[in-house]
Chains A and B, each alone.
Chain A
Amino acid sequence: MSQIQTWTLIFIGASFGVYLYIAWRSRVKETAGFYVAGQGIPTVANGAAVAADWMSAASFISMAGLIAFLGSDGTIYLMGWTGGYVLLALLIAPYLRKWGKFTVPEFVGDRYSETVRTVAAVAAIVISFTYVVGQMRGGGIVFSRFLGLDVTGGVIVAAVIIGLYAVLGGMKGITWTQVAQYTVLIVAYLIPAVAVAQQMTGIPVPQVSFGQILDELNTISVQMGLNQYTEAFAARPQIDVFLVTMSLMIGTAGLPHVIVRFYTTKSVRGARYSAFWALFFIALLYTTAPAVGAFTKLNLLQGVNGVSADALPSWVNNWAATGLVTVGDGVTTINSVSNSPTSGADLIVNNDILVLASPEIAGLPAPIVGLVAAGGMAAAMSTAAGLLLVISSSFSHDLYFRRIKRDSTDKQRLLAGRIAMGLAVLVSIYAGINPPAFVAQVVAFAFGLAAASFFPVIVLGIFWKRCNATGAAAGMITGMLFTASYMIYTLQVFGTEANPHILDISPEGIGTIGAIVNFVVTIVVSKMTAPPPAEISEMVENIRYPSERRAVPAGNVTDAA
């Protein structure tokens, strides 16, 4: 066993021990504790839990690598995945917390109708499930590289541990475990980033110092057959960068596993501050990622530029075993690098390895490599757990309780939820081992659908009293059908042909148009049909104010003018 493997085992083993201990300590039996942690989570801790929940294997493992190869257009992930929190904080979180129950489909059901609730519950399950599969796969990759297991073994180990504590602990256990996971993942991300920044620029603040290497990176990128790093719209047309960013933002604000997090705070005020802390914690990683991308890419390019194929640095050989780094056939010296297997470049590097390999590429010691592996696992596990909870609550609450057995007891519902979670784990083990050929597209699918389904009906539900059930159902269904059709048209899924993009709009960006379609249809149909009943207006009115009004000192408030 190599030194790297030993350290990886130590870090992953120790961190798992902590997570399981926390999950066991805070195991719960009542429904409220299971789904919304008894609504008693302190704001800062809740923020850290949202951050861990949100930052998945994609954020931790893939994003910096994607940015390294997209250059300036990596902004779609950076702004897209953070800007959504502004929408969430201002438009959604405080109001849903005031209304506060267990699930997102539940809000939609109470605000509109049972039909809309069922549509929403199915959408929530589909969106969350596609995500879980990606997390299982991410966990599997980490294990296969560092522990010498095959991907199948890695996926099974990850799934068993995630399933165990998700089923036992519910939201309360998950919340505190996620706080621990956030700590592990951010430390694991920042330590190597700070070390690399110090090594390359002498300034240990990656966010500030990566500006110094951009010129050099531009020059060497062009030499190696790539685009200038800081040039905008080299990877995607401007309109598409705009639409994809917007789609990721409103998708973020519409994702059920993120929204449900704001039900766990103590108060409406707590929900607002939770959103702040969440984005603050997320921003620590998201402002570091572009620096990691730039440093690692420069290191990588300098390390291999003009080097002969049999004298490549050791990280190339370590990763070659996983098939994620390949040297072209018959290449003797490396003169070009790409992330695309079809580019014909001398060295092909998969996006997904950059973060995990970054300490190796920079020549940092083995314990740091192990720490990064533990961070990647923390990111994958925390997100998977949050998603499993959404699947479980949507199933038990919005389908089983509402549609199948109305007189079910608390205990039966909890059991139904746990069974749904267990089934989801089993199916995701299968799908993680045999991933559908289009894992990357599936993520776009989930975001586009969240953007085109949940976001408009939730926002209109809060801000427009006149919005009714017919409108919302029509809007959600047309929004989703429109978005899904375009994706199926442009992507190779389920054996369909991939057609060229219309007006430069990629399938990742179509969610924005889908959301607009949803908004327009909802408004038009609502206007054409009868307004919602008075109780609904009253409910909407009530979620707009954090609490009942108490006596206020005279002169403090202007009375109705």
Chain B
Amino acid sequence: MINALRWIVFAIAALAMNFPIIVTLVTSFKSARELSSNAGLWINQPTLANYARVLTQTDRFNIYSYLLNSTIAAVLGTGLAILLCLPAAYAIARSDVGRRVMLPLVINLRAVPLIIFAIPLYMMYQWLGLLDTQIGLGLILTIVNIPLALVMLVNAINDVPLELDEAARIDGASSFQAMVRVITPVIRPALITAFIFGFITAWNEFLFGLMLTTNKAVPMTVGASFFFAASGGGVQWGVASAVMALGALPPALLGLLMYRQISGSMTAGAVKG
């Protein structure tokens, strides 16, 4: 009896939370004609025409370029964040430096509204010629990713037994060699989780994409909104839905594949912060 109630609550919650995603998917398979007569959640004649249009008519809005920009900037931003955080995490976990001041300071960054830094960064980018470049966007996404990457890596290294480093040091390895040759392979699962989680975060970032790109380096989150401002005849909902579905797909797929690891790391980052 109470179990049936649980199923009902689960179904309602899952439906309500995912409602915009469901609607978008359904709409993306509706023809323009059907859309004008049927805004409901069923489709009489499903069609792939919207996807075909998005993927072939790229003269005005090039979805490939948005997808590519998002991918490059997210990979760059996540990779760099991990590269910067790995030695820092090693130092925090294995020496007396950084644990008391550095770590909480960086964790707190997660809570600071990034718009605060956006205006001077915009000017800095203008001077450096980094506006509207994939590298420029990637560098900012690094900032977005650093807090969680650092927490995840510190936690991962803390879980590695000290004996492993000690053995390596006794065998004559420097601390740097111990970090690269011993610790890094052991925490590979954490590195992969940190990378995927960072990739999702970076892919989904909007504010800096909106501010720091205009044309060449526009990421998917910003590019998708262009399809709403399109042509004077109002929004073409089928096409716009197909764009949103394609833009939401990469992080959603990654997240679903990794949801167990991600839920673990997400809570680790939040609760220990």
Do these two chains interact? no
Chain B residues with CB under 8 Å of chain A are none
